[in-house]
Structure 1
Amino acid sequence: MELRQLEYFQMASRLRNITRAAERLRVSQPNITVAIKKLEAELGIQLFDRSQKQLALTPEGAVFLNRIELALRNIQDAVLEVNDYKQLQKGTIKIGIPPMMGAYLFPKIFSSFQKKYSHLDIYLHEEGSMSIREQLERDELDFGIIIISGASHNLQLLPMTTSQIVACVPAGSPLADKERLTKDDIATANVIMLKEGSFLRQTILGKLKEQSITPNIVLESNQVVTIKGLVASGVGISFLLDMVLEDAPGVKAIPLEEPLFVDVGLAWKKDRYISKAAQSFIDFCRDTLRKRESGNNAAQ
């Protein structure tokens, strides 16, 4: 039984799709298929029920997955810890960032961190906040700079800023003259929505559902620049964090009738071993926050 076989089985189980697992692991689909078949032959059981349209675990497969999840996590942590003991001047950090934070919050942090720790390699993974939370829980990422409001108790959180969810409307439209956007305004408008996996999408749709409103979604995109361009062109309205609308020609930010605020910050798994590289990033973020708070207090 090889470690790679277990890793392939784990990823295929999580994604319930061998093709997607191959893409995530950057290997060919036949490699994963062959590895899983060998694993099944060695165990003498069938791990997947292949009669379903979607890949599904058999009861035996579910038990096996539950056992190896902890084993693989311990192996990953052991490798990190041993590498730290070797005291190499090298390290890798995997960070998940939603497109909105990636474009407007992270660059300010990353540029300063990279200057101070140029020997560390940082890999960025763009997804929505909800998807990043799930990947942190599955130990696929070291950190996520995400909307932390309502995050799992399994995640350690470092709040960094608070932002308001606002409606983005064309600057020349009648809606731009309003002080607040009402549910009726939203109900009659064309809406450009962030894609699945976004905390903002989930929050807005949840609020609208409470008011029995089904928005007319005409387009979906995770590219903030694209969304702002579509709004400015009069295609529809959208919902974004106010932090990304400081420089948005042709777009007017309007608060919602019931204001919505969210906390943005750094998140990581509580029970994972924290490598020296990862700890340096946590310490850097904390130090940056302290300096910012000191500057704000001095200005008051």
Structure 2
Amino acid sequence: MTLKQLKAFLILARSLNYAHASNELCISQSALSISIKTLEEELGGKLFKRNTRRVEMTPEGESLIPYAKKLLANWDDMEKDLKQRFQLKRGTLNIASMPFATHAVLPEILHKFSKQYPNIHFSIHDVPNEKIIEKIQEGIFEIGICFKPDNIEHLNFQPLFQEDFIALLPVHHPLAQNTTVTWKELLSFPFVTLQNPSIVRQIVETKAAENDITLDLKLECHQISSLAHFVALDLGVSAIPRRFEKMIQPNQHVLREISDADVHLQFGILYKKDLQLSNISAQFLDMITEYYR
């Protein structure tokens, strides 16, 4: 059974006239007769009763009409839906994004993407950096936005920029009087940072070990935005990725360069090798790559 057969069946069922139906279909009457006969053979019985004077529906033919209409309507809906998706006139962009990227990177990109493709919707899933590789490998998400993982076997990583860290201080903190601070100076005070697993937390702990300092972990949380609020209330100091500075309230915090800041993390897009990205994900990848080029 083909869509052409169903369409021919419905037009003949409506007109009950082979000449009219064949004209509407732009085929010969013999071709229409063959199409209907083939459909009848596949279904196992007559759909029309035909004599020299007129064409009539059989009861079985009558029962086929609603099914045929539904099948053709579903096909038309599917065709329209896919065409709109390929043209980015509809669809949802699903992204696994580490929380830092959700706050500090994605807003501008999604604003730009939305202006170009206004009918696209977005679903952003905050996922710890260390979990994004797992979600991509499992096929739960097509693309992830994160710092470059150590192990990217079977994955592609498209770098966007290098990220370093800056010191985040309460307004009246003693270190706020300095033009720069060192990691050792910063880590000597009660500290506010992210919970494990977190690449930010790993950097902080690594720097504490390198400077032979026992970290005085005053408070740990999940989001840098939350971390900033606690620093503003003088619960401790912190170190944050540089691009998050635009999210910091200057009247509530002081940002200082870390003079021995030798941390440079690659930030970018992660996706599976040998995976044909959906059109919407491929277009987003092109846009964000061009944005940071």
With the shorter chain as reference, the TM-score category is: 0.5 to 0.7
Q: Deviations over 1:201-260 (max 9, x none)?
A: 122212323443331112112333322222122110112112222343232223335312
Is 1:282 the counterpart of 2:285? The answer is yes
Matched with 1:140 is: 140
Is 1:254 the counterpart of 2:243? The answer is no
Matched with 2:174 is: 174
Q: Deviations over 1:19-77 (max 9, x none)?
A: xxxxxxxxxxxxxxxxxxxxxxxxxxxxxxxxxxxxxxxxxxxxxxxxxxxxxxxxxxx
In 2: Cα distance, 1:141 partner to 1:197 partner:
20
**CA positional deviation for 1:95:** 0.6
**CA positional deviation for 1:190:** 1.0
Moved more, 93-102 or 243-252: 243-252
1:9-28 alignment runs, 5 A limit: none
Q: Which amino acid aligns with 1:101?
A: A
**CA positional deviation for 1:124:** 0.8
Q: Which amino acid aligns with 1:225?
A: S
**Percent identity among equivalent residues?**
22
Matched with 1:200 is: 200
Matched with 1:131 is: 131
Is 1:272 the counterpart of 2:272? The answer is no
Is 1:109 the counterpart of 2:109? The answer is yes
Secondary structure of 1:225's counterpart equals helix
Secondary structure of 1:220's counterpart equals strand
In 2: Cα distance, 1:276 partner to 1:84 partner:
16
Q: Which amino acid aligns with 2:207?
A: K
Q: Deviations over 1:77-100 (max 9, x none)?
A: xxxxx9999545343332112222
Conserved 8 A contact 1:95-1:124: yes
Secondary structure of 2:158's counterpart equals strand
After superposition, the Cα gap between the structure-2 partners of 1:183 and 1:118, relative to the gap in structure 1 and judged at 3 Å, is: closer
Q: Which runs of 5+ in 1 are unaligned?
A: 1-81, 291-300
**CA positional deviation for 1:280:** 1.6
In 2: Cα distance, 1:209 partner to 1:83 partner:
59
Conserved 8 A contact 2:170-2:233: yes
After superposition, the Cα gap between the structure-2 partners of 1:83 and 1:234, relative to the gap in structure 1 and judged at 3 Å, is: farther
In 2: Cα distance, 1:86 partner to 1:226 partner:
41
1:187-226 alignment runs, 5 A limit: 187-226=187-226
After superposition, the Cα gap between the structure-2 partners of 1:213 and 1:155, relative to the gap in structure 1 and judged at 3 Å, is: farther
Conserved 8 A contact 2:161-2:292: no
**CA positional deviation for 1:171:** 2.4
Secondary structure of 2:292's counterpart equals helix
- The TM-score with structure 1 as length reference comes to 0.61
- What is the root-mean-square deviation of aligned Cα atoms in Å? 2.7
Secondary structure of 2:289's counterpart equals helix
Conserved 8 A contact 2:171-2:252: yes
Give the number of equivalent residue pairs. 209
- The TM-score with structure 2 as length reference comes to 0.63
Q: Which amino acid aligns with 2:125?
A: H
In 1: Cα distance, 2:81 partner to 2:276 partner:
13
Q: Please identify the structure whose Cα radius of gyration is greater.
A: 2
Q: Which amino acid aligns with 1:229?
A: H
Q: Which runs of 5+ in 2 are unaligned?
A: 1-77
In 2: Cα distance, 1:83 partner to 1:231 partner:
54
Secondary structure of 1:160's counterpart equals strand
1:60-79 alignment runs, 5 A limit: none
